Structure 1
């Protein structure tokens, strides 16, 4: 699996994969790599004090980091940023899914919205797709500092409107694999490097 988002190829069956864990090919591989890619984001690419808890606050902090990283919209798509962009898009999507339910989807039909780009549909009653990759490009262009929290808040309002109650969010501890592990402090990291 390469370190880029699946928009650069077609699924092996050449069709539409409009379901979670659908079919074969690049989308399936992308989903299977979710937790290791997120663990790498937490362990190597974000500051040690980043609140990696899939909360609204973590999206606000991530947007600050993204605005510092991307001076303008076109810099988002630079080759040297693909790995970081992919991991951040995953984190944004997983934060929305863990807080509001939903699933990742992927279309290979060129006429579909977000064709060739992983996107999600939350359980908020709207069936409106959200492509985190494009959210990053949008926040780099608009530079308001609150694009991600606005999406979070809007999804929360729609969820309450549709379900009549707030959703109890999943926590980082509810995720499998390395995401359950706490981050090491500097002293612990130095000890393990010996």
Structure 2
């Protein structure tokens, strides 16, 4: 996997947290229109949010030079995420990337009447820069209108919503402290793991897979005699990297979301700890990497076994869904 592919993978994997943080922290609750009226700012990824979003961007940045300044990179990336996800919901398509389109940043490859993802790329970076340069507050919507025309027929998407941010953080399911922490922490996961693996024996052999988790469990069991040993200041680089590696590996394989424990009792394992949440049916399953590291002291298979448990629950959930679907089909057949 080359560097561009790694960056794109990180962009997609971090969509829920980064996009949620952008919506909660960077977009206002209300906005004052040009005629002085204060209105509620729509943050629902709907087409009607685009004019207001563009007006807000224009109010923040007087020129393309301003929005491209390094200090605004996080906002710019969040804006691209929001814009892309809004287009996906309205017209269908997929996130994509290459070395030339969209200044090397992820872009949308939209659906058309020819088929899924059959359209010309929608370069989100160029669209934002054009909007800031033209200052008409009509660019975001004009791009969507053109894409709808290419869908043919009534301009409606041919398939169900293709947006990615299904587990996105919201004001209802998170706190300001959690959003602030995750906004910082998520950006350290990929580079932290990369630096950590380079310090391990045979760096290239470490992958986001079960075998690596099992090997790490054995390494921790051999390296430490007690939890106190691993809390030594000299061990911080190893344990911090291992924690990120465990959480990110299980999150990717079993499809989870990084969270952070705020507003919890001190005896809760998630208290002030980054953890990974999995939605199984209508229940949450939370795994705390720091606790898994400690568990490996007693059982070197504890980390890999945690992954096995989540996968088994996922498989049971899928089997139950399939059984319900078959049962419903049989009932419909009997009624017919």
TM-score under structure 1 length normalisation: 0.72
Q: Determine the structure 2 residue equivalent to 1:133.
A: 125
Match of 1:151 among 140, 143, 151: 143
Please, which runs of 5 or more residues in structure 1 have no aligned partner? 1-11, 18-23, 185-191
Q: Contact 1:53–1:171 at 8 Å: present in 2 too?
A: no
Greater shift after overlay, 93-102 or 122-131? 122-131
Could you tell me how far 1:170 is from its partner in structure 2?
Answer: 3.7
**8 Å contact from structure 1 (residues 54, 98) kept in 2:** yes
Deviates more, 1:40-49 or 1:83-92: 40-49
For residues 15-43 of structure 1, what are the alpha-carbon distances to aligned partners after superposition, in whole Å with 9 as ceiling and x for unaligned?
Answer: xx7xxxxxx51110011111111111111
Q: Give, in angstroms, the shift of residue 175 of structure 1.
A: 2.3
1:43 aligns with 2:24: yes
Cα 1:106–1:165 shift into 2, 3 Å? closer
When residues 152 and 58 of structure 1 are mapped into structure 2, their CA distance, relative to the original with a 3 A threshold, is: same
Instruction: State the aligned residue count.
Output: 161
TM normalised by structure 2 equals 0.43
* Aligned counterparts of 1:182 and 1:91: Cα–Cα separation in 2: 19
CA contact (8 A) 1:139 1:145 kept: yes
Q: Find the counterpart in structure 2 of residue 29 from structure 1.
A: 10
Aligned-CA RMSD value: 2.9
Instruction: Report the equivalent of 1:82.
Output: 73
Q: Per residue, is there more strand in 1 or in 2?
A: 2
Partner Cα distance (1:171, 1:137) in 2: 25
Q: State the Cα deviation string for residues 73-114 of structure 1 (Å, max 9, x = none).
A: 111201111000100011000100111111111113xxx433
Say whether 1:97 aligns with 2:85.
no
Q: 1:133 to 1:114 in 2, by over 3 A?
A: closer
1:1-194 paired onto structure 2 within 5 Å: 12-13=1-2, 24-48=5-29, 49-108=40-99, 112-114=100-102, 116-124=104-112, 125=114, 127-159=119-151, 161=152, 166-167=156-157, 170=161, 175-179=166-170, 181=172
Deviation at 1:164, TM superposition (A): 5.7
Offset, 1:152: 1.2
Greater RCO, CA 8 A, separation 6+:
1
Q: Which protein is richer in helix relative to its size? A: 2
